[in-house]
Amino acid sequence: MTGYALKSRAGVVPGGRCRGRAPGIVAALSLAAATPGALPQTPGSSDWGYYGGDALGQRFSSLDQINRGNVARLAPAWTYRTGELGAGFASAGKLTFEATPVLAFGRLYLETATNVVIALDPESGRERWRFDPHIDRARRYAQASARGVSVWAASEPADGVCRRRIFAGTLDARLLALDADTGRPCSDFGAGGEVDLTRGLRIRDAGAFLVTSPPAVFGKGRDPCVRRAERRAALGLRPAARLRITPRCGRLEPRAGAEHGRRQFLGGDVGRP
């Protein structure tokens, strides 16, 4: 992953972007890194606080610091390597890097295909923390990818551990909740910071029952956390891409991971718009 800065006659303008699918993230990271006051932003106030740019997944940025007139002057400012090359991973041949980083709380958050969650300094690219959930690398997974993480903050003022959280799904069907500041599991969420999404289900092929999309967070504060595909369906939106829908999709409370019920889905692909 490479961060970019805008080059001028006087040198390099502070700022950067993350090479990804969404062109709007170019301006988002440049402006955020150049403006110290913008660093401790919440997902809603960040220009790219969600996998899809905003809560509706529109992938649009109104920032114009980088435009057609100066985009040719972009130059690498930093490069970060995750270190995941597939060593000892049975599905290494399917390994990809598809994550769209999100910018929130003064950090850049991303996830590797093997579900290692990483927080970077958006201005320097320096690693702040990383968390490895230790998925079963001997298992053969139907896919080996992760599109990113979701971030959440308590709506009411709060201090202490896990007042701001990172949610991520795993290839072995777990939902993780991590402290956004330290990367440590939130012990009050599920069992030791994770929820087993296979609980109560009969899984025919464990390698095909996986999570590759970022979880979605409904509303603020205590509202439940659900899969992105269900969120778009609830809003009456068609899927933005071809997504695999698991047989059931659960809704969980962001603080405790308590289940709020499950909705039955038909298996298969939902198709393209």
Q: What is the mean pLDDT of the chain?
A: 74
Q: Which tens digits make up the pLDDT trace of 61-108? A: 888 888 999 999 999 999 999 999 999 999 999 999 999 999 999 999
Q: Which tens digits make up the pLDDT trace of 185-233? A: 999 898 999 999 888 888 888 889 889 999 887 655 433 344 444 444 5
pLDDT score recorded for residue 153 = 86
Q: Which tens digits make up the pLDDT trace of 248-268? A: 334 455 555 555 444 433 333
Rank 12-26, 145-159, 185-199 by mean pLDDT and report only the highest.
185-199
pLDDT category at 115 given cuts 50, 70, 90 is: very high
Residues 101-115: b if buried by 16+ CB within 10 A, e if exposed: bbbbbbbbbbbbbbb
Opening angle at CA 168, ends 33 and 55, nearest 5: 60
The answer to whether residues 20 and 101 touch, using CB atoms and an 8 Å cutoff, is: yes
pLDDT score recorded for residue 11 = 53
Cα–Cα separations (whole angstroms), residue 256 to 62, 163, 186, 187: 35, 12, 9, 9
Cα distance between the two ends of the chain: 29
Side-chain-side CA neighbours of residue 63 (13 Å): 21
pLDDT category at 44 given cuts 50, 70, 90 is: low
What is the four-CA torsion angle of 252, 111, 90, 244, rounded to 10 degrees? Answer: 50
Specify the CATH class of 2-269 in words. Answer: mainly beta
Domain ranges of the chain: 2-269
Q: What percent of the chain is predicted at pLDDT more than 90? A: 42
pLDDT score recorded for residue 63 = 84
